[in-house]
Chains A and B, each alone.
Chain A
């Protein structure tokens, strides 16, 4: 692999990583649902159910599009999918792309880029909902943007704390530095714990998990995240569902990367890749189990009360920030 020009190598890494994430994403959702069901003493569908759903939507259902819509409506699902596909490829889940001294055409994932890419996906979803000329999609979109509005400052403050801690806002570089540390100094660091707390809250809010939204709900008047895809059907819906699965996988991998930064392959396609992949899957399952545990103990918050939870996350991010400044800079 090393003899390839850096541009191609990076492209191959990106596409390999993105495809891997795209393939396992529905499985991750299925696993989360299965865990949830088991924890509630239900039998639950097996983890392959989301794959069957996607297959059914794509091949067994005819798509229909509302008459007033323009091209935006059917461009939206692939565009949203592209955003999350790209995020999945850029996040260091199998490889670290920022090799010290390597002339990589890109040097890992910038966390600010993540914030903007997540926003772009929501922006496109909002346009599509207006394009459908019906109220349902936009009821949820208004809520989605309300959440986005509360999440974005928290996310920025968290990234600021991380940047002050690691002297970079680049996730790959940050993780490469973390890998040099011992287990104790990663886990026993209050900053990392606080940052993980606020990032965890952000992840729950972004993915519409409890307590922000009830993922399995069928009531249009309360839903946030599932409501944005109400107007889509057939292939479009399949793409959006798949994109949402990728979003969940992205956040779970982000959390697991920060929790456990070791075991990522630093050289592409070397012998460490296979064990790295296994460790990654184990991390993923562990974090998903934690999410399921969290979810069975929570009830959904009132819509207007979510600001309190996110302000609490903002407070946590602020404390992390102040702690970093006090310990590292004074």
Chain B
């Protein structure tokens, strides 16, 4: 099964790490009660319990990084036929009453490049958050149990990407839900708003259970394979072709609902900003940066491996939902006052961007385009884009959340329109936060740009899908509309992060009353160190994406997609889609050097400006606001004012304008004569109908709005061209 006999040790290594996490999580909550029973000092016991749990999580995380990094470094670049998937049975399961068809519940761990990639992410962020939490949880009354629950959370998250059996998958997902559910109770336990806390935990548990039920149904449908009924993922892969098409489609729908709920995909996005902000800010970076991506991992596993001959409409459906996810959630984020809530909405928006990549890959990799090499090779690019964004989002969102943790630690609040001017008080934290804000808004030279560029390029590169005549009308609506929604989402993200960063960090404090409570000095060095590492990663991946792309390509190759269409080297990223005859279908490249100059340029200019400033110093003057006395709390522009124009416009268009005209009474004749009255009634009703119809036409069809008329021209145009195309 493996290229290298040593590779099977990897699985055991992962197992040991899981055990370490598990050990830490049991140490956290249970040590203090034991100490109390023994009559020892409870406070010291809490300290030691927290330290033990966090230290174990930290080392477990580092080991996971080592093991997955070693795996990826060894096996990346071996192409599609790399026989480097490792499955090791930990426990062979039980044989229930000798029924051979009954599942044995064997516990098998499975490592391929995809799970190693997610393992890397999980390990890295477990280590980061554990390191950071030493200072963040210091003197917190619930430090031991938060640390323990975090260990359990990391443990179950790592197991989700490793288990190879439907039963165990559902079990560890449940463990994940419960451990995170404990963390959701945090704000309520700290004396936060009790009602909100109760709503949060109730919503979270209901959502996670409904999602588990849907996923269980999907697993049972896939497992009920006529050739070999089983819950073993290995057999799912082996006999996937003998699954009937109908059950494949039904299983897709259930898996999409179940996993979409966990990821916060649009019809189910409501729970994320309700539940997540209630958890401690330090584990937030893990729960929204990494743990929510487990759903993406499972989607890739289910859709591309277990349900493999893919129907084309899956991708189209996912694309539309993903576009909606991106636009709606970034819009809600724009309206939030609470920093944690705004960032939670942004996480869902980024899930939307990731899902756009997945949707494109599903569409291009579907059975419908199976014979078309040029389209299928774009599926690999789209998957790389999607995975790249998974990693990027984890990095900058981790940075933003841990930065928020620093802000909360210093100022005791996360309400944006009360803060302001933090960059002068806490320069390091604020600069790192700004880096995260530019990265998440997707601007070069940071990493967000690369994955957004790849996602958009996968739209462009898949141009050959339009050659499928029968699907062209549908695709012609789905693809450009999703593209436009994505563009809208990107622009809104930029606005939202100008608002978030500007309101929180820049200017002057907006609420002078709370300034007295601000702690002096920047956040502790150990916390800032983590921020620095993440900010540096944002820049490094933005300038040298070729460092990461081979690993992503290995993960994509592992599930059977070709990635040779994307070439990455130090100087450029090139997407070249070619026919087998060598004819070029699509060719474009992104040069890295100008992006590098974007770093060099301002730095050089700033240095020059420094010299010049010494030469001709600038005068410092009080703020001038038209001669009035300056009051920072009322005279600064607020974030909601900045975005007012946007949300007012959107609300106007979102609210359906109903036109209610009372029935015309002018035509009513005198009462009394029965027949005449009937006629009158009929006449009145007829007139009313005509009037209603004409007002409807005037309101909706011929309202003098140039866009409407353009739409008609557009529609007529499409109709004519369609008729021509069909007639030809």
Contact = CB atoms under 8 A, between A and B. Distances in A.
Interface of A: 7, 10-11, 14, 62-68, 70, 72, 74-75, 78-79, 81-83, 85-86, 89-90, 105-108, 110, 112-113, 116-117, 119-120, 122-123, 126-127, 129-135, 137-139, 141-143, 145-146, 148-149, 151-153, 155-157, 159-160, 163-164, 167-170, 173, 234-235, 303-304, 307-308, 311-312, 314-316, 318-319, 321-323, 325-326, 329-330
Given A74-B618, A86-B601, A156 B483 contact: yes
B226 interface: no
Nearest to A10: B593
A66 B645 contact: no
Contacts of B487: 152-153, 155-157
A105 B589 CA distance: 11
A89 B721 CA distance: 41
Contact of B649 (A119, A127, A307): A307
A79 to B, nearest CB: 4
Interface string B5-22: 000000000000000000
| Chief secondary structure at chain B's binding surface | helix
A135 B628 CA distance: 13
Contacts of B587: 167-168, 170, 173
Contact of A127 (B449, B498, B606, B713): B498
Q: Using C-beta atoms within 8 Å of the partner chain, give the interface range for chain B.
A: 35 or more
Contacts of B632: 68, 133
A82 B594 contact: no
Contacts of A65: 618-621
B74 interface: no
Given A152-B490, A157-B480, A126 B502 contact: yes
Contacts, number: 296
Interface stretch (B244-252, B404-412, B439-447): B439-447
Nearest to B592: A106
Given A113-B444, A314-B484, A130 B494 contact: no
Contacts of A129: 502, 637
Given A146-B646, A152-B487, A312-B710, A106 B495 contact: no
A170 B588 contact: yes
B636 interface: yes
Contact of A134 (B495, B574, B635): B635
A276 B466 CA distance: 38
Nearest to B507: A133
Contact of B636 (A135, A151, A169, A234): A135
B620 A64 contact: yes
A322 B619 contact: no
Interface in B705-723: 705-707, 710-711, 713-714, 717-718, 721
A57 to B, nearest CB: 13
B507 A105 contact: no
A131 B507 CA distance: 4
Contacts of B519: none
Interface of B: 421, 423-424, 427, 434, 438, 441-444, 449, 452-453, 456-457, 459-460, 463-464, 466-467, 469, 472, 476, 480, 483-488, 490-492, 494-495, 497-498, 501-503, 506-508, 571-572, 574, 584-594, 597-598, 601-602, 605-606, 608-609, 612, 616, 618-625, 632, 635-637, 641-646, 649, 705-707, 710-711, 713-714, 717-718, 721, 724-725, 728
A330 B459 CA distance: 18
B491 A148 contact: yes
Contact of B646 (A67, A149, A321): A149
A79 B508 CA distance: 23
Nearest to A161: B480
A143 B649 CA distance: 12
A133 B490 contact: no
B444 A110 contact: no
A40 B488 CA distance: 38
A327 B449 CA distance: 33
11 contacts: A65-B621, A66-B620, A70-B424, A82-B605, A110-B590, A110-B591, A123-B443, A142-B646, A170-B589, A314-B484, A323-B717
A81 B602 CA distance: 8
A298 to B, nearest CB: 15
A118 to B, nearest CB: 10
Contacts of B606: 75, 78
Contacts of A316: 710
Given A86-B598, A112-B456, 6 more contacts: A78-B602, A86-B601, A119-B491, A127-B434, A131-B423, A325-B476
A131 B724 CA distance: 58
Given A64-B618, A65-B620, A85 B483 contact: no
B361 to A, nearest CB: 18
Residue of B487, B705, B714 with highest tally of chain A CB at under 10 A? B487
A120 B622 CA distance: 29
B488 A152 contact: yes
B635 A312 contact: no
A152 B619 CA distance: 38
Contacts of A159: 460
B589 A318 contact: no
Contacts of A311: 707, 710
A2 B456 CA distance: 35
A85 B503 CA distance: 29
Contacts of A85: 601
Contact of B498 (A141, A146, A321): A141
Contact of A167 (B463, B490, B507, B625): B463
B460 A68 contact: no
Q: Which of B441, B466, B594, B622 has the most CB of A within 10 A?
A: B594
Contact of A330 (B467, B608, B623, B646): B467
